[in-house]
Amino acid sequence: MSAFETLSPAASVAGETPVVLSVRDLDISVRQQGGVKRLVTGLTFDLRRGETLAIAGESGSGKSLTSLAIMGLLPPPAVHVSGGSITFDGADLTQLTEHKLQALRGSRIAMIFQEPMTALNPVMRIGDQLIEALRAHESLSRAAARDRALEALRAVRLTEPERRLRQYPHELSGGMRQRVVIAMAIALRPDVLIADEPTTALDVTVQREVLDLLRDLSRDMGTALILITHDMGVVAEMADRVLVMQAGAMVEAAPVAELFTAPKQSYTRALLSAVPRMGQGRDAPVKEAKAPLVSVRDLVVTYDLKGGILGRTQSRVHAVEGVTFDIQPGETFALVGESGCGKSTIARALTGLVAYNGIVEFDGKPLGTTHASRFAASRQMQMVFQDPMAALNGRMRVGDLVMEPLVIHGVGDRDSRRARAEALFDRVGLTRDALGRYPHEFSGGQRQRICIARALALNPKLILADESVSALDVSVQASVLNLLAELKAEMDMSYLFISHDMAVVENIADRVAVMFLGQIVEIGSSAQVFGDPQHSYTRRLIDAVPHPDPARVLPPRTTHASDPPSPVRAVGDPPARLTLRSVGGGHLVAAE
């Protein structure tokens, strides 16, 4: 008997697919000084076998809280289900003991969390975590569980899966960690899979493969999927029905085609209008040539892999290989490419967080390697990291975190710093009374806005934005991108914009460099790269972008006969550097 055959007969109606999960009048509240505050109010929906229900809405609207309530993972005792029911397999999950919930989690109801670094145990190897999850729910030998873990990692197209089993989470990029979390969730083939921003950290090609994988799981196994996302392109391609939330309440629910073509509520219409779309990029005006703010020549970053009894270096990861580019004053220069291609490593090299070879100049002067020179440069060069929770000190109030750069560099007094923090919170769409709260009290998107406010505190000349809007819903994303554009115009500020969201890059970037395996394969203006891509890899990236149109025919699947090439090479192997050729107007492309 399959897991689905245990469903109560009352859960289905004649001629209809059985209901797997039923939520009725769900209220979620938090206890705080002065009483109880309701965070989610009167939420009702059904989820049927094989159906994909997308839950969309702004950060803080209650999407993730709803998923945590279904999993029984609301942080006790402050946050709790204060009303309603969540019925699965004839039982109300809100009334089950923790022991019974543990038996369901992972095996029958699984979740892909929004922030992979907080979902993984940092002191356990990837393989041990996957094996532990499999053996906790199935009678498997360690060898059999290891084979299943490898199968799951291959399913999400993680390079060198055998080596990944031996690594710790901090040794993987953000996108790689997200793929591990997805592999862990799908390994047991659950009845209900809750995916909370499952592709936020993934580049578009891997996102395409993961979405295809989730679609196959739903079709072949009857898995019901709750998809929580701010990417309306993903919603259009994946969802059967859409539930839109605002301020803890449902404002609209409809079949996906109906919602996109005829939204009934003004909030839904505003949400859809804020979605960046491919093909709507702008032609950046040609600027007078100036001395570049940033000049990078033949940048190389490698990591030694040691082994053997003596712990000698046996091979090297060539994370960045001979990269050259300039960033002009007032320019937005974007780096795009698959996870692990070296984008974030370049940003870390510029900020002195990793050692490198090559020449890097900032504002006409070589970037020094001493602490004093790097400290001086940090005032003019700030970074917004990909993972906001890992970037914020959980023991500090967010107001103090935003004021911290001012304190470190001795700027202003307490009152002026407080005023600066309040103004920055206004600009990034947070209320001033939130300055006294701690990072864990915010949603993922709100935490990213705090990181952006902190980066702006010193009025830097260059902001290195590493997936800086990836955690934001589309309406807040649009406001933050508009803010970045305003600051660029007002202050002649420059950006190194790292993103896997090709639609956002097309709409914000002046110039774009496409990276593959640590090297630039194509570079040119946004109009050139997106309007007339010359390299097959660039075309593959663009073709994989989800479009916010349910009627769009999905592109044919690309099958991969083997894993992608590895950036690991033996010590002494010659560098494999690409040669760029000109196709006119500053548009350069690597020979294929």
Q: Cα–Cα distance between 291 and 299 in angstroms, integer?
A: 19
CA neighbours within 13 Å on the CB side: how many for 490? Answer: 8
Give 201's pLDDT tier (boundaries 50, 70, 90): low
Give 501's pLDDT tier (boundaries 50, 70, 90): confident
One-character DSSP codes across 177-239: HHHHHHHHHHTT--SEEEEESTTTTS-HHHHHHHHHHHHHHHHHH--EEEEE-S-HHHHHHH-
Report the first-to-last Cα separation within the chain, whole angstroms. Answer: 53
The most distant pair of C-alpha atoms in the chain lies apart, rounded to whole Å, by 74
pLDDT at residue 289 in the model = 64
DSSP state of 244: E
Determine the average pLDDT of the residues in 439-454.
Answer: 86
Contact of 115 with 389, CB cutoff 8 Å: yes
Give 11's pLDDT tier (boundaries 50, 70, 90): very low
Higher pLDDT, 550 or 27: 27
| Res. 59: pLDDT tops 80 | no
Q: pTM of this prediction?
A: 0.76
Contact of 498 with 347, CB cutoff 8 Å: yes
DSSP state of 169: G
The helix (H) or strand (E) run that includes residue 496 is: strand 494-498
Other beta carbons within 10 Å of 262: 10
pLDDT at residue 10 in the model = 37
pLDDT > 90: what percent of the chain? 47
Give 378's pLDDT tier (boundaries 50, 70, 90): confident
Least confident of 157-166, 309-318, 478-487, 526-535: 309-318
Higher pLDDT, 191 or 318: 191
| Res. 3: pLDDT tops 50 | no
Determine the average pLDDT of the residues in 487-493.
Answer: 81
Sheet strands (E) in 275-432 = 294-307, 312-327, 332-337, 357-362, 365-366, 381-384
Least confident of 44-48, 86-90, 120-124, 466-470: 466-470
Question: What tokens appear for 328 in the block?
Answer: 């002009």
| Per-residue buried b or exposed e for 210-236, using 16+ beta carbons within 10 Å of the residue's own CB | bbebbeebbeebbbbbbbbbbbbbbbb
Q: Average pLDDT of the chain?
A: 86
pLDDT at residue 165 in the model = 95
Give 561's pLDDT tier (boundaries 50, 70, 90): very low
Least confident of 87-96, 193-202, 559-568: 559-568
Least confident of 76-80, 194-198, 275-279, 409-413: 275-279
Residue 556 CA, distance from chain mean position:
25
Give 341's pLDDT tier (boundaries 50, 70, 90): confident
pLDDT at residue 29 in the model = 95
pLDDT at residue 519 in the model = 93
Other beta carbons within 10 Å of 310: 6
Higher pLDDT, 125 or 207: 125
Strand, coil or helix: what is 315?
A: strand
One-character DSSP codes across 520-551: EEEEEEHHHHHHS--SHHHHHHHHT---S-TT
pLDDT in tens, 77-126: 889 999 999 999 899 999 999 999 988 988 899 998 877 777 899 999 99
Give 496's pLDDT tier (boundaries 50, 70, 90): very high
Question: What tokens appear for 512 in the block?
Answer: 């774009």
| Res. 491: pLDDT tops 90 | no
By DSSP bridging, strand 192-196 and strand 224-228 are parallel
Other beta carbons within 10 Å of 203: 22
Strand, coil or helix: what is 317?
A: strand
pLDDT at residue 558 in the model = 60
Q: Cα–Cα distance between 439 and 435 in angstroms, integer?
A: 10
Hey, what domains does the chain have and what are their CATH numbers?
Answer: 19-274 (3.40.50.300), 294-555+563-590 (3.40.50.300)
pLDDT in tens, 210-242: 788 788 878 877 889 999 987 888 899 999 999
Q: Cα–Cα distance between 40 and 28 in angstroms, integer?
A: 5
pLDDT at residue 297 in the model = 95
Determine the average pLDDT of the residues in 302-314.
Answer: 77
Q: Cα–Cα distance between 213 and 146 in angstroms, integer?
A: 21
pLDDT at residue 260 in the model = 95
| Res. 452: pLDDT tops 60 | yes
Task: Please calculate the CA angle 76-77-79 and round it to the nearest 5 degrees.
Answer: 70
